[in-house]
Amino acid sequence: MPSEAGEYPLLVLLHGYLLRNSFYSQLIRHIASHGFIVVAPQLYCLTGLDASVDIKSAAETIKWLSGGGLLDVLPANVQPDLKKIGLAGHSRGGKAAFALALGKVETSALKLSALIGIDPVDGKKEGMQINPPVLTYSPHSFELGHMPVMVIGTGLGEVQSGILCACAPKGVNHEQFYKECQAPAFHFVAKDYGHLDMLDDETRGLLGTFTYCSCKNGKSREPMRRFVGGIVVAFMKAHLLGDDSDLMAVINGTETTPVDLTIEFDI
């Protein structure tokens, strides 16, 4: 979190399926170093296929923020700007973020300012969505009240890893999420990286070990993690702070990124 006195915008980051919030520590530090307070709750310890627990836990986090809970853990001179909140989620956490933004569960009166899906996933394949389903398979169907949305995808997420199923299967992954967004919406795809390549370089424990083999991965996590951190910061600066210079530099190709991208947007 920021250490200098001031009021700072927030990003709530929801972890992926069967992952730990601690697996995102390097990504969180990257984003926070640019002047954002990052709140990354552990949504559950154990869970099944139903994503209702993820969504309800995320809603409780938003309610906790609205009740001033964050003030109890921040330094006295650091204040959250509750009028500038971004919501991001990775994998099934991305599904939960969209579900929350779409009002599929009751939250507080806090208004979200921006929505980010980091390789979001809504199930095993089209027709096998995880309850509650988010994707409608109708273009531009997400009614988000003109909230700006960014969807980050991976090229290797839809590729099987050995005998295991793809971690972000076609038909329920970033492509479909973006298709259902309304303007303003942005879609960045890192073609040579996988579904878990934005995690820490070292993820420990049984679940941490599983992250190295459960999905098709790129050669290194560092470039993808650096890109995700950078584009999240650029998007948040553009839509929460009114400075779109970094975001437009990436879109226009005047800013070199650590990964090869395909980009589309609807403004």
Instruction: Report the percent of the chain where pLDDT is more than 90.
Output: 79
Of 90, 113, 119, 187, catalytic: 119
Of 15, 30, 54, 91, catalytic: 91
Q: What is the pLDDT of residue 1?
A: 67
**Residue that has been written with the tokens 């627990």 in this structure:** 53
83 pLDDT band, cuts 50/70/90, is very high
Of 195, 200, 239, 246, catalytic: 195
- Asked whether the predicted pLDDT for residue 35 surpasses 80, the reply is yes
Q: What is the pLDDT of residue 215?
A: 92
Find out whether 88 and 151 touch, Cβ atoms under 8 Å.
Answer: no
Question: Which tens digit of pLDDT belongs to each residue from 48-69?
Answer: 788 999 999 999 999 999 988 8
- Asked whether the predicted pLDDT for residue 46 surpasses 80, the reply is no
What is the secondary structure of 69-115 as a DSSP string?
GGGGTS-TTEEEEEEEEEEEEETHHHHHHHHHHTTSS---SPPP-EE
Q: What is the pLDDT of residue 37?
A: 97
125 pLDDT band, cuts 50/70/90, is confident
- Asked whether the predicted pLDDT for residue 4 surpasses 70, the reply is yes
Whole-angstrom distance, CA of residue 238 vs CA of residue 228:
15
Question: Which tens digit of pLDDT belongs to each residue from 201-240?
Answer: 999 999 899 898 889 999 999 999 999 999 999 999 999 9
Name which of 23-27, 60-64, 174-178, 181-185 the model is least confident about: 60-64
Identify how many contiguous H helices and E strands the chain contains and give both numbers.
7, 9
Whole-angstrom distance, CA of residue 232 vs CA of residue 236:
6
CATH architecture of 6-266: 3-Layer(aba) Sandwich (3.40)
Of residues 267 and 227, more confidence is placed in 227
Q: Which residues contact 48 (CB under 8 A, 6 or more apart)?
A: none
Active site residue 52: no
Q: Where are the alpha helices (DSSP H) in the chain?
A: 25-32, 52-66, 92-101, 174-179, 205-210, 221-240, 245-252
Active site residue 91: yes
Active site residue 22: no
